[in-house]
Amino acid sequence: MPITVAALRETAAGERRVAITPEMAKKMHARGWRVMLERDAGASAGFPDGVYADATFGSAAEVCAQADVLACVLPPQDAVFGQLRERATVVGQLRPYGADARLAAMAARGLSAFSLELLPRTTRAQAMDVLSSQAAVAGYRAMLIAAEAAPKFFPMLTTAAGTIRPSRVLVIGAGVAGLQAIATARRLGAQTEGYDVRPETREQVESLGAKFLQVGVSAAGTGGYARELSAEERAAQQQALAEHLKVFDVVVSTAAVPGRPAPKILTAAMVQGMKPGALIVDLAAESGGNCELTRPGERVEHGGVTIIGPLNLPAGAPLHASEMYARNVFNFLELLVKNDALAPDYDDELVAKSCLTRDGTAQFTG
């Protein structure tokens, strides 16, 4: 009997993505898997039920009762774990940090759970890397928000009324989100600079046509992330950045480490020193923000500077975000299914490091 891979309609506030798209449903069907979705699961992402030629539909309860694998974008409501059949598998961004009750509920039901945020940042894992695929969407949308909210044009314009100089934009953090933000600012015509404490990112920033801002602090780390700065390094970074910030019209900050509070890079005093009309878009708002003045989900005015803390930006471009996310999920599921049966190989680093629960016990200790 084929395994059933399923997805529910996402219930988190503002969430519009879906974990299985028509394209991936077709691929799953070609593998001999049965695909089942809750009615209207993909509607908010631009995929009405009628475009799923290779899936069946039912109520949430019917989906849970039949699912061997439940794919999700964000953790489902706790009640879902009790509705799933025992020994089912859950795959998605399960936000395991500080979620002991959720892990206990899944373990008590005997569920196997895999959190894709925990995948190691290796070449082999790139096809399953949901953090990178969704960060690309977030970086793009963050710069669009900045362009709309800024009181100035981004590009240089030559008009009958005179020449308009381009906006000066700084992107803090040159990970996937930061690089996409830089690329978007460049496409919009802004004079763009990028900053990161990891010196190896300079080449990537410059390859996009931006200037790399140097402040004399280097903190290369492991796993693609920067190491934590010492107090002395942080003070030096802030002092140098404070001087540079005075000339920028827009700052987009993207520095974040999964499972930890976002590093505080922009102090209130640094914001106070920025030019009137300047704008900060803090992409790290969900984990506390890179700016001391950021309020998640809000727009704050301080000394003539506007600070915006957007939340869940990928959900604002749900069609393409879902397409990328669903491909990540499908590629990961291929690790779990062998000969038409669920058979995770826990000797595989990608499987082992993303596992939250198995055989009735929690595996995650982060």
Q: Hey, which residues are catalytic here?
A: 121, 126, 129, 132, 225
Phi/psi-derived region of residue 167, left when phi > 0, alpha when psi is between -120 and 50, beta in every other case: beta
Q: 45-49: which pairs have CB atoms within 8 A and are 24 or more residues apart?
A: 45/16, 45/17, 45/18, 45/21, 45/318, 45/319, 45/321, 45/322, 46/318, 46/319, 46/322, 47/18, 47/21, 47/22, 47/319, 47/322
38-75 burial code (b ≥16 CB/10 A, e <16): beebbebbebebeebebbbeeebebbbbbbbbbbbbbb
Task: Name the H helices within the chain.
Answer: 22-30, 60-66, 78-83, 100-108, 130-149, 176-187, 202-207, 231-245, 268-272, 318-336, 349-354
d(CA 118, CA 287): 16
Phi/psi-derived region of residue 26, left when phi > 0, alpha when psi is between -120 and 50, beta in every other case: alpha
Q: How far is CA 257 from CA 177, 228, 264, 290, in A?
A: 12, 10, 12, 11
d(CA 280, CA 172): 11
d(CA 52, CA 221): 43
